[in-house]
């Protein structure tokens, strides 16, 4: 059982998890065991944050590196916006293509 001293509203925790890895950590620490929406968005945003970190490591000096980073960055940003709008509306909205994968891979969160 998670006994944290910080208690955030589940909707606010879901929204905060979208803003940097620090926000994700704050939402993670403040979650309660019965807040499924918070767990849902922790899994989604962890995947989005990890994707953006991985995209950063694509070398820009590759032949199509810059273009790949631009297209990937726009795709990640679109997924982030879709996920954030779902959190704001307090509904579990999976991101396209990788939403199910993130939910499955991070299910032990």
pLDDT band at residue 5 using 50, 70 and 90 as cut-offs: low
The torsion angle over the Cα atoms of residues 74, 24, 55 and 108, rounded to 10 degrees, is -110
**Of residues 11, 12, 10, 86, the one with CA closest to residue 48:** 86
Domain extents for the chain? 10-105
**Model confidence over 56-101: pLDDT tens digits?**
877 766 666 677 888 888 999 999 999 999 999 988 889 988 999 9
- Give the mean model confidence (pLDDT) for residues 24-53: 89
What's the number of CA atoms in the CB half-sphere (13 Å) around residue 10? 15
Q: Residue 37 has what pLDDT?
A: 85
């Amino acid at each position: 059982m998670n006994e944290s001293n910080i208690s955030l509203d589940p909707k606010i925790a879901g929204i905060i998890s979208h803003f940097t890895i620090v926000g994700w950590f704050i939402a993670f620490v403040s979650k309660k065991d019965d807040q499924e929406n918070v767990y849902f968005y922790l899994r989604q945003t962890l995947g989005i944050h990890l994707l953006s970190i991985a995209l950063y490591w694509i070398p820009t000096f590759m032949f199509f590196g810059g273009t790949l980073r631009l297209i990937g960055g726009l795709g990640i940003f679109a997924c982030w916006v879709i996920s954030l709008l779902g959190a704001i509306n307090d509904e579990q909205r999976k991101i396209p293509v990788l939403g199910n994968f993130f939910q499955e891979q991070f299910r032990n969160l």
